Structure 1
Amino acid sequence: MTRRRRRLVLIAVCGSVLAVALGLVLSAMRDTIVFFRSPTDVANHVVAPGTRFRLGGLVEAGSLQKGADNRVDFAVTDTGSTVKVRYQGLLPDLFREGQGVVTEGVLEPGGVFRADTVLAKHDETYMPREVADALKAQGRWQEGAGKDAGGPRPATLGPRSER
């Protein structure tokens, strides 16, 4: 075997090992990827029951019901559609009606979203990008509007200090 042929065989073997490793990594990540969906996506049957995903929107006013054993029922809306959410656990301190929320869980066959994680916005100017995009598509998002203008405002970063 010549030197050139040995190099080609070595390159081919390394390429094959790299391709197999990449395939294994991608197949392992497929089970951990969680997609974001809006209530309109759920209403349009884009998501099949039993699928794990993130649901985001606004907590519908008047929908919050607290039950026994830290069970909470509420509705998430993007002003186009509404999805009922059931959560077992303690809600974040900033969770309230009319505010942005992202929940992670599974859609049950009856159309109720069973959440195992609830994330609330952290101050009056923050809105998760996925939720803001869904609200923009519905015409609810007002760029630069504050609480008084009837809509959430995008997150802004202050000027960086010079060091």
Structure 2
Amino acid sequence: MHKAFIAIAATALAFPAQGWSATAQHSKHPHQTVAAQQPGQRLGTLSCEVNGGMGMIIGSNRGISCSFRQQGRKTERYTGSIGKLGLDIGISGKSYLSWVVVNTKPTRVGQGDLAGTYVGASADAAVGLGVGANALIGGNARNIVLQPLSGQTGTGLNIAAGVSRLQLAATRR
């Protein structure tokens, strides 16, 4: 498991800030806008609120609600869950995560395109106030990286480290 943890983290961090030249993919959805012509471009910021809960020693699963801000576009809302497989001991209150969202290949991003499953490495600790880090890759087309590491703040008495899985679904407003 230690090797898998390192491999996932290395993959998520391996994407450069500026990438290789490539042509844009064509979208089937006319409401989408071209967000990035080259890999490694910033698409926006994903900010999430994670429900509090109790670690179950070898894992946890908590509800999450997020907003994605892409420059020049309306804020998109997502809900879902975030879970950890690995060490997770203690009780935590509500916490907040924020990621820089980048692409892994030329892509178009529109309403609901961040929906999907993301996996990667995570670690966090709290004694009163807490901090943490999460590096994830995924999305429906596996073309989105939540990178390089999220910022996380929260409260509780908790320690956790392992492989994380984030599941997002678009919400309509």
**Short-chain TM bin:** under 0.3
Higher strand share: 2
Q: Which has the higher contact order (CA 8 A, sep 6+)?
A: 2
Structure with larger Rg? 1
Give the TM-score of the pair, scaled to structure 1: 0.26
Give the TM-score of the pair, scaled to structure 2: 0.25
Higher helix share: 1
